[in-house]
Amino acid sequence: MAENERKKVILSGIQPTGVFTLGNYVGAIRNWDTLQEEFDCIYFIADQHAITVRKDPVKFRQQTVESYALTLACGIDPKRSIAFIQSHNPNHSQLSWILGCVTQFGELSRMTQFKDKAAKHADDINAGLFTYPVLMAADILTYNADVVPIGDDQRQHLELARNIAVRFNQRYGDMFTVPEGYYPKVGARIKSLQEPTKKMSKSDDNPNATVFILDDKDTIMRKFKRAVTDSDSEIRFAEGKDGINNLLTIYSCATGKTIEEAEREFAGKGYGEFKLAVGEAVADYLEPVRTKFAQLMDDKAYLKECWTDGAQRAFRLSNKVFTKACRKIGFVDYR
């Protein structure tokens, strides 16, 4: 990169909805540290998005703190990146109102996630559930983020943010960067330990199906001992051997060995021995995250110092954009 060439800004929000799974970690989260080399990174805990569904306040507050600590434990450096809690920066919600006034009702009505969530929470179809894609657009545009990491379920929301940016720019003059989607190289797809044709999910009803990155070693070993395999006896990657294929993939990710190397290592060995070895490898692989998370949760003063500094940096950066947007639409300056 040339000396005078700026890094692109990448922004990502994480809802405080619980602990990441092994699948989340392998698929995307372990790449966070690398992204900090390539981009100017902004990470936030999306607590304002989370309240579209009713929360127990005490549990919600704890989950927010834990989620912030977990992002740091997984590799986010609060000195190299901006890491904060969404509600600590009022520019997100204030810009959301402005952007809501250039967003069409029909655009929000077409959001498939609103339809899905409204069906799931039929007793609480609130206005926030309907308008949160506008807040998401504000999250992105208030930093003039160049790129936003998204999954398939967020493509529609990013497209709305792009449309809002273009419409605002056309009405009031160039203002917002039109963000692009960032589609990281897909990591290995980790499957359920109990139904290896399905992806590993934090919402799985079967407690033995999912490994969470904060599970202790005994819990991890128990889950792998109970992992579904097949009636064959050979440890090889092949069609129809979904359980063994999944375990080989997990072992490869945890050790850095190739599938072929793993097959050779366990040639002639039984499934029981293999499952124990995978469990041991995963426990060792996740141990640094568990240790770092425990240290952070024991030092709430440091966590608060980090999110306070992050919020102040986020506010300074976003306030330039927000203030300019206010002037563009004709609000009177008050200072």
Place of tokens 């977990």: 70
- What's residue 289's pLDDT? 95
Q: Which pLDDT band, with edges at 50, 70 and 90, does 184 fall under?
A: low
Regarding whether 71 and 94 lie in a shared domain, the answer is yes
| Residue 311 included in any domain | yes
Q: Which candidate, 257, 193, 245, places its Cα nearest to that of 219?
A: 193
Regarding whether 36 and 154 lie in a shared domain, the answer is yes
| Residue 199 included in any domain | no
For residue 280, the domain's CATH number is: 1.10.240.10
Regarding whether 150 and 88 lie in a shared domain, the answer is yes
Regarding whether 241 and 304 lie in a shared domain, the answer is no
| Residue 100 included in any domain | yes
- What's residue 185's pLDDT? 64
| Residue 196 included in any domain | no
Give the model confidence (pLDDT) of 207-235 as tens digits: 999 999 999 999 999 999 999 999 988 99
Phi, psi of 325 (to 5 degrees): -65, -40
pTM of the model: 0.88
Instruction: Read off the pLDDT of each residue in 259-277 and give the average, rounded to a whole number.
Output: 96
The whole domain housing 306 covers 9-187+300-329
| Residue 212 included in any domain | no
Number of domains comprising the chain: 2
Look up residue 25 and give its two tokens.
């970690």
The total number of residues shown for the chain amounts to: 335
| Residue 210 included in any domain | no
| Residue 107 included in any domain | yes
Regarding whether 182 and 237 lie in a shared domain, the answer is no
| Residues identified as active-site | 117, 199, 202
Q: Is residue 42's pLDDT more than 90?
A: yes
For residue 58, the domain's CATH number is: 3.40.50.620
Q: Is residue 52 within 8 Å of residue 21, measured between CB atoms?
A: no
Mean pLDDT, the chain, whole residue set: 92
Q: Is residue 150's pLDDT more than 90?
A: no
| Residue 204 included in any domain | no
Cα-Cα-Cα-Cα torsion 93, 96, 97, 101, nearest 10 degrees, comes to 180
